[in-house]
Amino acid sequence: MMEWKTEKKPVEYDFAVSEMERRVEEIRAGTADELVWLLEHPPLYTAGTSAKAKDLLDPRFPVYPTGRGGEYTYHGPGQRVAYVMLDLRKRGPDVRAYVCALEDWIIRSLAHFDVKGERRAGRIGIWVDLSRYGGLLGQEAKIAAVGIRIRRWVTYHGVAININPELSHFNGIVPCGIAEHGVTSLAALGVECGLDNFDAALKAEWREGSIGCEAG
100 is a catalytic site residue:
no
Provide, rounded to the nearest whole percent, the portion of the chain with pLDDT above 70: 96
pLDDT at 216: 37
| Residue 178 is assigned to a structural domain of this protein | yes
Read off the CATH number of the domain in which 36 is found: 3.30.930.10
Give the model's confidence band at 209: pLDDT under 50 very low, under 70 low, under 90 confident, else very high.
low
| Distances, alpha carbon 23 to alpha carbons 27, 54, 130, in Å | 6, 34, 39
pLDDT confidence bin for 211, thresholds 50/70/90: low
- Residue 99's pLDDT is what? 94
Q: Please, which residues bridge with residue 91 across strands?
A: none
Residue 53, pLDDT score: 93
Does residue 211 fall inside a structural domain? no
Q: Is 130:136 a contact under the CB 8 Å cutoff?
A: yes
* 210 inside domain: no
> Taking residues 3-26, what's their average pLDDT?
98
Q: State the residue range of the domain holding 125.
A: 2-204
Q: What is the DSSP letter of 56?
A: B
**180 band by pLDDT with thresholds 50, 70 and 90:** confident
Q: How many CB atoms lie within 10 A of CB 165?
A: 24
Question: Is 215 a member of any domain?
Answer: no
Q: Classify residue 154: in a domain, yes or no.
A: yes
Question: Could you read off the pLDDT of 118-147 as tens digits, one per residue?
Answer: 999 888 899 999 998 888 888 899 999 999
Amino acid at 100: C
Indicate the angle between helix axes 95-111 and 195-204, nearest 10 degrees: 120
Rg (CA), the chain: 16
| Domain-embedded: residue 216 | no
- Which of 177, 190, 172 lies closest to 49 in space, CA to CA? 177
Mean pLDDT of the 42-63 span: 95
Question: How many domains are contained in the chain?
Answer: 1
Q: What percent of the chain has pLDDT over 90?
A: 83
Q: Is residue 214 a part of any domain in this protein?
A: no
Is 170 domain-assigned? Answer: yes
